[in-house]
Structure 1
Amino acid sequence: MAGHGPARFSETVRRFLEASRVPGILATVGRSGGPVTSAVWFALAGDTILVSTPAEGTKARNVRADGRVSFIVDSKERPYHGVAIEGVATIVDDADLRQWRTIARRYLGDDVSPEMRTRAESGARAIIEVVPHRVRTWNLPDTE
């Protein structure tokens, strides 16, 4: 991705990502150099994607070692459509609980369990920020 600067989301892409409650698929670069994929909860923050993950887990470790990532969100229903992002990810060092809550509320509403809240407050969670450098879509309904 050398030479590519950050990309902006079109309004169509932004609306699709904001409306989706389907987990995204995050691919990081593993220790062997191959891709490691994971289903993840996410939220938008401007033109970046925020992902919550265990602070000492594989995703966080991989991002610290090599920030190149891919991220996909699709419709899971006909007619199939979605967004594929290539970008650079970093661990947000100054992440606060608001970011985690934003992500959790997208999928759970206000029904966040006390156990999940305790884990987030203990610092056991990290926020991965994905800055897109390339955004592709397929069959995305034009709602503009």
Structure 2
Amino acid sequence: MTVPLSDAVRRLLDAPNVGVLATVNPDGSPQTSAVWIGTDGDDVVISSQAGRRKIRNLERDPRASLCVFDLADTERYVEVRGTAEVTVDEGRRLAVLLAERYEGEGAGEEYLRLPPEAVRVVIRLTPQRVLGNVT
């Protein structure tokens, strides 16, 4: 069952706070990656590159957990648990959007200059449980 994001959670996720995405390795052990994040409706979206360990893990086992804390107040945090779908980032739109959110205007240009074989993907995490300390 999909869980909607509250306004407080959405504000935390839409601010330039870094998240830690946890996936499951083939041997069952956890794998974590620091990621830039955004929202699309009630889904959390993350940009990555095809072939990375987190992508291979999610293609095999879509279960994931994302923890994000407020850089201005580290007692405020949210954990989003759910399932993820990986799709191609057409036109590298999400990569550019997140780069500009986190690093400023024009920062996304580097993603547009990548060679075609550097395929960017979108991880779309659909929340099934949302926990944390946000108000």
Partner of 1:17: 13
Residues of 2 paired with 1:24 and 1:120: CA distance? 27
RMSD: 2.0
Q: Deviations over 1:13-43 (max 9, x none)?
A: 1112112x12100001111111100100111
Residues of 2 paired with 1:22 and 1:113: CA distance? 17
Partner of 1:35: 30
Greater strand proportion: 2
Q: Give 1:28's aligned amino acid.
A: T
State TM-score, norm by structure 1. 0.83
1:90-109 mapped onto 2 (5 Å cutoff)? 90-93=85-88, 95-109=90-104
Residues of 2 paired with 1:45 and 1:31: CA distance? 29
Q: How many residues align?
A: 135
1:104: Cα distance to partner?
Answer: 1.7
SS class of match (2:79): strand
Structure 1 spans left out of the alignment, 5+ residues: none
SS class of match (1:81): strand
Percent identity at matched positions?
A: 33
Residues of 1 paired with 2:112 and 2:74: CA distance? 37
Partner of 2:60: 65
